[in-house]
């Protein structure tokens, strides 16, 4: 079907559906989360956001000259995402989690595995795999983030974007990123890179689902 973006969507669609239809994700989008579970989710998310740019940097450093535009794309993305972990910290503070607790937090094994895979894949295997990670994070943020932020806000009686600023704003930001990502994916022609991106997306969907299940 179509270009590589549609192929990526198709080859990873069941993994996306498995995330979307996991009972915890279903419940979170439909009814929000209890404050304790939302705290745990943001603490895990904080780890993912904090490691996003180092993973992108590892990928950019190994990106072959033939993928010059891709390297620039990663630079731009890193610049945009820089400091966003602070947004998560602000949301955590709004729901009663101190900076001290954030710093001392030990992530779930699933989160460590997700970050570890993304580092290893970008640094030791195919650097294009980083696009699989970006695809998953942007799908989750743009497609589910808005509904999730609304559900959490309603269930915890939060006012405005207080406590949900990271998720809520990324639902909008990542909507634009998605169109950019599709364009850049369309420039990649080698099959090995395609396979690496698909594998990465499958692993990321799997572990994000596990993180949701574990909180």
Partner 1 sequence: MNVPDPRSGLPGLLARPYRFLRLEWTSDLALLRVRTCVTPIQCFSLAGIAEMQRVLDDISLNPGLVRHLVVSSDVTGVFNFGGDLSLFSLLVRAQDAESLRLYGRKCIDMVWWLETAAQRGVHTTVLVQGDTLGGGLESVMPFHKVIFERSAQAGFPEVLFNLFPGMGAWHYTIRKAGFAVANDMILSGKLYTAEQLYRRSLVDLVVDDGRGEAALDHVIRSIDPRLRGTLVALQGQRLAAPITYESLAATVDLWAQAALSLTTRDLRLMERLARAQVRKAGGADEGALHEIKRIELDTAWGEERTGITEWTALS
Task: List interacting residues with partner 1 (CB under 8 A).
Answer: 1-3, 5-6, 9-10, 13-14, 16-17, 20-21, 23, 26-27, 29-32, 34-36, 93-98, 101, 139, 142-144, 146-147, 150-151, 155-157, 162, 172, 174-175, 178-179, 181-182
Nearer to partner 1, 50 or 150 (CB): 150
Closest CA to 198 of 55, 51, 13: 13
Q: How far is the CB of 58 from partner 1 (least distance, A)?
A: 25
Q: How far is the CB of 5 from partner 1 (least distance, A)?
A: 6
Q: How far is the CB of 86 from partner 1 (least distance, A)?
A: 15
DSSP string of 21-71, one letter each residue: TSHHHHHHHHH---HHHHHHHHHHHHHHHHHHHHHHHHHHHH--GGGHHHH
Buried b (16+ CB within 10 A) or exposed e, 146-155: bebbbbbbeb
Nearer to partner 1, 10 or 192 (CB): 10
Q: How far is the CB of 100 from partner 1 (least distance, A)?
A: 9
Nearer to partner 1, 101 or 124 (CB): 101
Nearer to partner 1, 68 or 183 (CB): 183
Q: How far is the CB of 57 from partner 1 (least distance, A)?
A: 25
Nearer to partner 1, 26 or 109 (CB): 26
Distance separating alpha carbons of residues 74 and 209, to the nearest angstrom: 25
Closest CA to 81 of 158, 128, 147, 133: 133
96 Cβ contact list (under 8 Å, min separation 6): 35, 39
Look up residue 139 and give its two tokens.
């799908």
């Amino acid at each position: 079907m179509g270009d590589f973006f549609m192929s990526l969507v198709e080859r990873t669609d069941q993994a996306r559906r498995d995330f979307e239809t996991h009972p915890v994700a279903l419940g979170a989008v439909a009814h929000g989360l209890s404050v304790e579970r939302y705290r745990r989710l943001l603490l895990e998310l904080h780890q993912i956001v904090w490691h996003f740019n180092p993973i992108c940097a590892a990928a950019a450093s190994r990106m072959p000259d033939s993928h010059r535009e891709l390297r620039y794309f990663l630079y731009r993305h890193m610049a945009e995402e820089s400091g966003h972990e602070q947004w998560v910290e602000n949301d955590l503070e709004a729901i009663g989690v101190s900076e001290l607790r954030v710093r001392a937090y030990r992530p779930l094994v699933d989160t460590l595995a997700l970050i570890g895979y993304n580092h290893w894949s970008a640094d030791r295997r195919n650097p294009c795999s980083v696009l699989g990670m970006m695809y998953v994070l942007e799908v989750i943020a743009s497609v589910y983030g808005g509904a999730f932020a609304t559900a959490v806000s309603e269930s915890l009686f939060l006012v405005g974007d207080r406590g949900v600023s990271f998720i809520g704003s990324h639902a909008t930001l990542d909507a634009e990123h998605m169109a950019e990502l599709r364009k850049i994916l369309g420039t990649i022609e080698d099959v090995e890179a395609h396979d690496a991106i698909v594998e990465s997306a499958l692993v990321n969907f799997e572990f994000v689902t596990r993180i949701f299940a574990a909180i």
